[in-house]
Amino acid sequence: MALMEDVMSLCKRRGFVFPGSDIYGGLANTWDYGPYGSQLKRNILNFWWKTFIDDRDDMLGLDSAILMNPRVWEASGHVKNFADPLMDCKNCQERVRGDKILEEKLQITIAGLSNDEIFNKIMDEKIKCPKCGKLDWTQPRAFNLMFKTYQGVIEDTAEQIYLRPETAQGIFVNFKNIIDSMRVRLPFGVGQYGKSFRNEITPGNFIFRTREFEQMEIEYFVRPENAEQYFDAWVEDYKKFFADLAIPAEKLRLRYHEKDELSHYSTKTVDFEYEFPFGWGELMGIAHRGSYDLDQHIKFSGEKLQYRDPMTNEVFVPHVVEPALGLTRMFLIVLLSAYQLEKLENGEERTVMHFSPKIAPVQVAVFPLQKDLSAEATAVYKDLKKAFRAEFDESGAIGKRYRRQDEIGTPFCITFDFDSRDDASVTVRDRDSMKQERVKIEDLKEYLAGKL
């Protein structure tokens, strides 16, 4: 867990992530994304949008509301099924998820067990309270994870609505609008990102599991007989996406869900798992949801959510393959994968974030060697800022300025020195190799564009 603590400390020190409501003593498990963190998160999101929406002909974007008609969540099954088995220790009031403490003890993934079965197994295995060590549990209670709120001024159950627990349903309820307004042909997909909320019983591990988080989800509509083929294609597309963002392949693995582990809507699911400092954990899921969601919304709304094949006039409800990735969880693995504490040849240490240059919050930093070179260095900086995410820094020793940029993962630092006045060139230092190269100022943009 030392890596997690080091990353958390860097996040606070360098403006990536701050504890939420910090000056009021915080609010448990809430986090605020600072200047570099919000930029990094946005860059990951932009890369996702470009890869899966802008660069493809079969994908569209959507931005649906967080607040939705509560019937949506009845239809989707969330009102009935989106619950965790909550247990309390009668001795010390510690609150746990029954399925999770059972999984930890037995080292298996359990699913499909009733609350009674979970309780009996916990008692058979004599799983004690992790806080006080007593074996004195309450019976599990189903705890629905959706946040409830009220619309309007009257706090009446008739006005009760939910904060969405996933972005996916916004896509299904807009299926008809999209079919009617856009000229789409199967297969096609709709992607959207945004906030989701879950009243998690056991949030934690920094931003791994929080109650407010962001998702980037895709619903890819296909003919039923083609679902398997597209499911496998999405697995390959996401392998490439992770490689493009410099996530080491050996830190990722695929885990196909057992039949009794599948969510209520899914006929096949695979998780991409990442090796976190606390062990392997879910990064994203790709699920074959069949026609479950559209069928449910047809039943509950009475609308015809169907597709008419323009060639054959055949009318049917498409199947859907859903790649669902958490943006904030992706942000965490980008940080964990990038972090390195390196020993230098001179015995000193440096902390470096090896972000992919595509998503680094700052792509290039410009320094004058000394303050009296500031005017010329500023001109170089201003010109680069038109094309790249650039930063100017004139304070402190040059070595310190390099260390600071290494810690925020800036791929290139440019120094304007006294020779620059004569040779119209600057020194470009590469973050990873620390090698320096002399480059003509007039060639800088082209030089950097080739590397970023």
- Answer for which of 168, 171, 414, 428 binds ligand GAP (CB under 6 A) is 168
Q: Are 246 and 337 in contact (CB under 8 A)?
A: yes
Assigned token pair, 352 = 């470096």
Q: Examine residue 289 and tell whether it contacts ligand GAP (CB under 6 A).
A: no
Nearer to ligand GAP, 52 or 416 (CB): 52
Alpha-carbon distance 43 to 331, whole Å?
10
DSSP letter at 373? Answer: G
- Answer for which of 99, 166, 293, 406 binds ligand GAP (CB under 6 A) is 166
Q: Examine residue 275 and tell whether it contacts ligand GAP (CB under 6 A).
A: no
Q: How far does CA 392 lie from the centroid of its chain?
A: 30
- Answer for which of 213, 221, 355, 388 binds ligand GAP (CB under 6 A) is 213
Alpha-carbon distance 38 to 34, whole Å?
6
Which run of H or of E encompasses 8? helix 2-13
- Answer for which of 187, 326, 361, 368 binds ligand GAP (CB under 6 A) is 326
Alpha-carbon distance 132 to 13, whole Å?
35
For residues 41-60, which are near ligand GAP according to CB under 6 A?
Answer: none
- Answer for which of 14, 41, 97, 209 binds ligand GAP (CB under 6 A) is 209
Q: Examine residue 66 and tell whether it contacts ligand GAP (CB under 6 A).
A: no
x-or-dash string of contact with ligand GAP, 109-148, rule CB under 6 A: ----------------------------------------
Residue labelled with tokens 């969330």: 78
Alpha-carbon distance 227 to 232, whole Å?
9
Give min distance, CB of 54 to ligand GAP, in A: 22
User: Which of 407, 362, 406 is closest to 385 using CA atoms?
Assistant: 362
- Answer for which of 146, 218, 245, 284 binds ligand GAP (CB under 6 A) is 284
Nearer to ligand GAP, 99 or 217 (CB): 217
Q: Examine residue 368 and tell whether it contacts ligand GAP (CB under 6 A).
A: no
Q: Examine residue 324 and tell whether it contacts ligand GAP (CB under 6 A).
A: yes
Q: Are 392 and 347 in contact (CB under 8 A)?
A: no
Please give the backbone phi and psi of residue 351, each rounded to the nearest 5 degrees, phi first. -100, 125
Residues that bind ligand GAP (CB under 6 A): 166, 168, 198, 200, 209-210, 213, 215, 217, 282-285, 322, 324-326, 328-329
